[in-house]
Amino acid sequence: MRSRRTFRPRPLAVTAAALISLAVAAPVHAADGAAPARSTGIFLTVTGENNAWVRGVLIDCATERPGHHPHAAEACAAIDAAKGDFDALPAKKGICTKQYAPVTVSATGTHRGKPVSWHKTYGNACEMGYATGAVFRF
């Protein structure tokens, strides 16, 4: 008797497919031949250990509509203070447990005309929170 195998997409494959579809989305050109509008904003993601889960949000600090980030004003202030350099985000001091439950954060896009492509892995969500403040708090 043959066993039936069901297809279950792996979280990494699903994440990769979602990010690729965002990256290759072509801008819409106006019918009159005008240049397409410049894409602005940063796609932020937080991924759990072994890509078990992924959260993402688009934030645009250069417009009046920053997106669906729940702490957009605070996050934009931190990104602006760092001049778009995510390694320079204003960190806070605090105490975290030593539990190893890694989270990887990434930022891809454009901040105030400057390209952004950054990612980093932290030992756990607490460490990430102190290091990045409101930016990845969604």
Per the domain annotation, does 17 fall within a domain? no
- Cβ atoms of 116 and 84 closer than 8 Å: yes
Ramachandran quadrant class, 119 (left: phi over 0; alpha: psi -120 to 50; beta: rest)? beta
pLDDT given at position 40: 80
Domain count, the chain: 1
Q: How many CB atoms lie under 10 A from the CB of residue 45?
A: 19
State both tokens at 72. 């957009």
The whole-chain average pLDDT of the chain stands at 81
Q: Which has more confidence, 8 or 29?
A: 8
pLDDT given at position 64: 83
Per the domain annotation, does 2 fall within a domain? no
What CATH number corresponds to the domain at position 137? 3.30.350.10
The DSSP call for residue 71 is T
Where in the sequence is the domain holding 116, given as residue range(s)? 40-101+108-138
Q: Which has more confidence, 106 or 34?
A: 106
Per the domain annotation, does 119 fall within a domain? yes
- Read off the pLDDT of residues 35-87 as tens digits, 9 standing for 90 and up: 445 568 999 999 999 999 999 999 999 988 888 999 999 999 999 999 999 99
pLDDT given at position 17: 43
pLDDT given at position 99: 95
